[in-house]
Amino acid sequence: MDKMIYVAMTGAKQTEYAQAINSNNLANASTTGFRADLHAFSSIPVDGPGVDSRVNAVVDSYGTDFAQGAIENTGRNLDVAVQGAGFIAVQSPSGGEAYTRAGDLRVSAGGLLETGAGHLVIGDGGPVAIPPNGSLLIGSDGTISIQPIGQGPETLAVVDRIKLVKPPIRLLEKDDDGLLHLQGGATADADGSVRVQSGALEHSNVNVAQTLVNMIELARQYEMQVNVIKSSEENADAAAQMMRMS
């Protein structure tokens, strides 16, 4: 009986973990450049005396979905969408280099280029600094050009170039900060083949309909596991009553 409760309890616990991953995906369905987290259930045999057919259901988070999300034209000069494979290099909260597909850029009060989440964008020599300007343009190769204040629209000055990279996705891991990092803390070299589309943003690649269906399925699985625990308790009470009667 104890083993029955244990199997049901571990199943419910793992279902809660899967639901947390699924809920996080749903919560970020409208987050620019978000990449959905993947999970799967696997069966692990229960060792020890008893019936060999008993198994635990274990949830494994096995990576990130790197499929491209839908691209929407915004017309905003600071919005960029990575075309095809590739990432924008940014500075992580810990100070290291990380990667993102979020191209909702802005200029901070200190004149530094950052993403909508506040991560500094990395250029050729570190964080990109934007001088005061009349207008700003971002080329397809990430080159940032400005119209200096007091100059005509025919005068453009290149200030920096966004570091665009294309590391093998098998080497990328998503950290707690929501950014992608290379395994072992390595950094990727700039890749000239990566292109961005100015005036556009890439949406999250979360499939909302499928995620909602998964949420319902996981809720039913959790309810089933709880019912098993209740049934084991009822069986234990019935067995104890029979022992008292005997």
> Tell me, what's the pLDDT at 123?
94
Residue 213 has pLDDT above 90, yes or no: yes
pTM above 0.85, yes or no: no
| pLDDT at residue 246 in the model | 59
Q: What's the pLDDT tens digit per position in 87-128?
A: 999 999 988 999 999 999 999 999 999 999 999 999 998 999
Quick: pLDDT tens for 162-210: 999 999 999 999 988 889 999 888 999 999 999 999 999 999 999 999 9
The letter for the amino acid at 35 is: R
Q: Bigger pLDDT: 230 or 167?
A: 167
Q: What is the pLDDT of residues 8-53, one digit of tens each?
A: 788 888 888 899 999 999 999 999 999 999 887 777 777 776 666 6
The mean pLDDT value for 139-148 works out to: 93
> Does the pLDDT value for residue 150 go beyond 90?
no
